[in-house]
Copies of this chain bind each other. A is one copy, B any other.
Amino acid sequence: MDSRTVNLRSKLEVYKAMTDGGNIADCPVRDVIQGLNGKWSSLLTAALAEQPYRFGELRRLVPDISQRMLTQTLYDLQRDGYVRREVFPTKPPSVEYSLTDLGRSMFDALQYLLQWAENNHDAVRDARAAFEQTQA
């Protein structure tokens, strides 16, 4: 996607897209965003954007995720078409997860936000510190 395309659209238009012109509760844009803002979705997508990984590799790569949430997040990403799951008939069978073209395309858009977070986490940290002062 050409970045100028986004910048030419008004913020109002993006908001309207999220509310689907009145169909607020059942809006497709919110539906898609909803599937991406789980606690682990973006981290796992970022890992798989680097290279394909097996289940156990992902678990070791992200030590603070529980097996249960790893299973479920991968299932959700697969259901929405971002991730491909391939079983190899080794003994014991191994399972490889990789990004689909759709997943790669989504991650390209997500990267702007990740990059922003990397550049600005100091500002957010400062804001939190200042806010705690006003509350005290």
Tell whether A91 is near chain B: CB-to-CB under 8 Å.
no
A105 to chain B: which residues have CB within 8 Å?
Answer: 116, 120
Residues A11 and B49 in contact in the complex (CB < 8 Å), given A112-B112, A115-B5, A120-B106:
yes
Residues A78 and B131 in contact in the complex (CB < 8 Å), given A25-B64, A110-B113:
yes
Q: Number of copies of this chain in the oligomer?
A: 2
- Is the contact region of chain A dominated by helix, strand, or loop, or is it mixed? helix
Task: Assign chain A's interface to a size class.
Answer: 35 or more
- Bound: A18/B61 CA distance, A: 12
A51 to nearest B CB, angstroms? 8
Checking B17, B50, B81 against A11 with a beta-carbon cut-off of 8 angstroms, the contacting residue is B50
